[in-house]
Amino acid sequence: MTRTKRYGLGPIRRDVAERWLASDDPRQVMYTLLRLSLNGPDFEYAERMALEHAFHPDVWVRRNAATALSHVARLHGSIDLDRVMQTLLSLMDDPDVIDWADYSLDELEIYMNTDRHRYMSPPSQTTLQRAAL
């Protein structure tokens, strides 16, 4: 009989979080990001850890880093808006994470009263548009 280890989403002590974030177990990293972002009390630390893991090799860590950023915005009401928006927009280029990043961007637009388009580069001109000049 195989026993599956389960992780809860309750509070996590900082020393445990640091140990889990440094582990090679993507599930521990993923759950740590979610637990930090949902329970605080140090939401700045939760945000910083989510940003640090946003480009992790494991897809589920990347997905949940995006989700953790939206949790911090919703529950704490304060984030480094420029850095978080740029990170989430970068994750939109990751086909495995695009849905999570898009949802988190939606949440930030609501809870932080912002618009993702303010953080996006203007569209580049097409070859035809440049030729017309």
Residue 43 pLDDT exceeds 90: yes
pTM, entire model: 0.86
Residue 2 pLDDT exceeds 50: no
pLDDT band at 106 (very low <50, low <70, confident <90, very high): very high
Residue 90 pLDDT exceeds 70: yes
Establish whether the linkage from the previous residue to 95 is cis, with ω within 30° of 0. no
* 98 Cβ neighbours under 8 A, 6+ residues apart: 91, 92
* Residue type, position 122, single letter: P
